[in-house]
Amino acid sequence: MTSKKLSLLELDQLEWEIGAMVSDSKSFKGMIPYVKTNLTVSDASGDSRQITFNQTVPEFQQLAKQFYDMKETLESFSE
């Protein structure tokens, strides 16, 4: 029988910055906004690592909403 281990990460830091990519194709010329997100997470042993990814502005807004919803849910447990 194989056992599986659930590994949880702790969010230590979240940083984001807005940028713009320049597109110069036949179909579209202009600036495309994006959000670069840097997460620093650590595991139970204290080892930390950084995760970086780019998102469109609507994707980042959805991520921010999910963090807000998680915060609200967790706060409801402490009331």
What is the token pair recorded at 64? 């921010």
- Taking the alpha carbons of 53, 59, 64, 67 in that order, is the dihedral positive or negative? negative
pLDDT one-digit tens code per residue, 23-74: 887 777 788 899 999 999 999 898 999 999 999 999 999 999 998 998 899 8
- Taking the alpha carbons of 52, 13, 5, 47 in that order, is the dihedral positive or negative? positive
| pTM summary value | 0.70
The top-level CATH class assigned to 10-77 is alpha beta
CB 19 within 8 A of CB 37: no
